Amino acid sequence: MELDITPMIDVVFLLLIFFMVTSTMKQDTSLQVPPARHGEGVSTDAATVITVASREGEPQIFLGPKVTDQAVSLSEIAAYVQQGIDDPDGARRTVIIKADRELPSGFIEEVARAANQVDGVEKFYVGVEDKQ
């Protein structure tokens, strides 16, 4: 007696293709932010996000939630925050600073001071990892 396993192989391949198409790959995060101890998450959709990353031992500032090839200086932060506040679709009066955990806190304070020069900022947050 022979067992025909062709239908079983077909089902296995269909399931494999289904899970490959419907799954999402975990994106590689480029920042090593510290873990959260208290608090709740804040949506980045309605906020102005500033990213500070350590590249070759030097802190670099990026306007937006991702690290790109275009780093900016401290003097460009105020204009970016003002642009977020003046956004006609809904004012982004919340500022989130995402920074690598090995960066000195003094540099993060300088970034926060540069963003705080703009009138109309309601809240500041420093990005951290979700609680485990």
The CATH number of whichever domain residue 93 belongs to comes to: 3.30.420
Two tokens at 111? 């970034």
Domain that holds residue 62: 47-126
What confidence category does residue 131 fall into, taking pLDDT thresholds of 50, 70 and 90? low
Does 14 reside within a domain? no
pLDDT band with cut points at 50, 70 and 90 for residue 117: confident
The answer to whether the pTM exceeds 0.85 is: no
Residue 130 has pLDDT above 60, yes or no: no
For the chain, how big is the Rg over CA atoms in Å? 22
Would 61 be classed as within a structural domain? yes
Q: What is the pLDDT of residues 15-68, one digit of tens each?
A: 999 999 998 776 655 666 666 666 667 777 778 888 888 877 788 888 888 888
- Looking at the structure of the chain, the number of domains it has is 1
